[in-house]
Amino acid sequence: MQLNQQSPDIAAYLAADEAIDHEHPRVREVAADLACEPDDAYTYARTAFTYVRDTVPHSADSGDPRVTWRASDVLATRNGICYAKSIALTALLRAHGIPAGLCYQRLADDDGTNPAVHGLVALRLPGHDRWARVDPRGNKPGVDARFSLEEERLAWTVRQHLGEVDYPTVYAAPPPEILRTLRSARDRTELWRTLPTHL
C-alpha cells in the first residue's frame, strides 16, 4: 500500500510534541539503553520495535486499568493500548533521528460489528525510498507481528468485505480524535467504550 505523508515536510516526523515527547529524560534514557554497536538505523529501529512490542504490555492483555498517552508515561509505566504504544515507539525512533509517524487501520469483529481504529507506526530509514508500517501492539496467541521493511508483518490484515480499512495517511502527530479519547478516559473500561470507529 502506498502511504502518504500528512505533512510534506519530513522534519515534522522528527519533531517533539505533547504526546511524542522524545526530549523527555525517560524517553532519552530508554533510547540510549537501546542504542547498540554498530550504531546503524536499521538495528536500532528493530531493537526499539521489539522493546515496545515485548516489554510494554498492551493493557487489554495485562488487565492494567491505567490509560497512558504520552510516550514518557507509556515507557515509565510500561502500559498502554495500541495508540499509546505506537506513540512510544514513534518517540523512540525520533529520539534516534529516524523519521516516524502514526498510521491506522479500521478493524472489526469477525462478523463486522464493533469497529475500532487500531494504531500502527510508519518509519522511513536512510536508504529506503518509502515508508514502512510496523505494529508494536504486542503478540499473543493468533497475533504475530514482526519488524519487516519489505513485507508487512502486522498484527492484522484488513478484511475489506467486513468494512475494515487501511488508512494510507502517515500522521506527524496523533489525530485529534485519538488524542482526545486517550486524554479524556478515566480508565481502560471507559476508554474501550469511547474508541474511535473511524478516522
Query: What pLDDT, on a 0 to 100 scale, did the predictor assign at position 125?
Result: 93
Predicted confidence pLDDT, tens digits, the chain (199 residues): 889 999 999 999 999 999 999 999 999 999 999 997 777 899 999 999 999 999 999 999 999 999 999 999 999 999 999 999 999 999 999 999 999 999 999 999 999 999 999 999 999 998 888 999 999 999 888 889 999 998 999 999 999 999 999 999 999 999 999 999 999 999 999 999 999 999 9
Residue 20 falls inside a structural domain: yes
pTM, full prediction: 0.96
Q: Residue 2, class by beta-carbon neighbours within 10 Å (0-12 exposed, 13-18 middle, 19+ buried)?
A: exposed
Task: Give the 3-state secondary structure of residue 90.
Answer: helix
Question: Strand (E) positions, 124-181?
Answer: 132-134, 165-166, 169-170
Residue 199 falls inside a structural domain: no
Asked if residues 68 and 77 have their Cβ atoms less than 8 Å apart, the reply is yes
Using CA atoms, how far apart are residues 24 and 107, in angstroms rounded to an integer?
A: 32
Asked if residues 85 and 15 have their Cβ atoms less than 8 Å apart, the reply is no
Q: What are phi and psi of 181, to 5 degrees?
A: -65, -45
> What's the DSSP call for residue 20?
S
Residue 27 falls inside a structural domain: yes
Residue 165 falls inside a structural domain: yes
Task: Give the 3-state secondary structure of residue 177.
Answer: helix
Residue 198 falls inside a structural domain: no
Residue 122: domain span? 4-192
Residue 154 falls inside a structural domain: yes
As for how many domains the chain has, the answer is: 1
Residue 102 falls inside a structural domain: yes
Domain of 67, CATH number, reads 3.10.620.30
Q: What are phi and psi of 113, to 5 degrees?
A: -90, 170
Query: What pLDDT, on a 0 to 100 scale, did the predictor assign at position 127?
Result: 84
Query: What pLDDT, on a 0 to 100 scale, did the predictor assign at position 140?
Result: 87
Residue 197 falls inside a structural domain: no
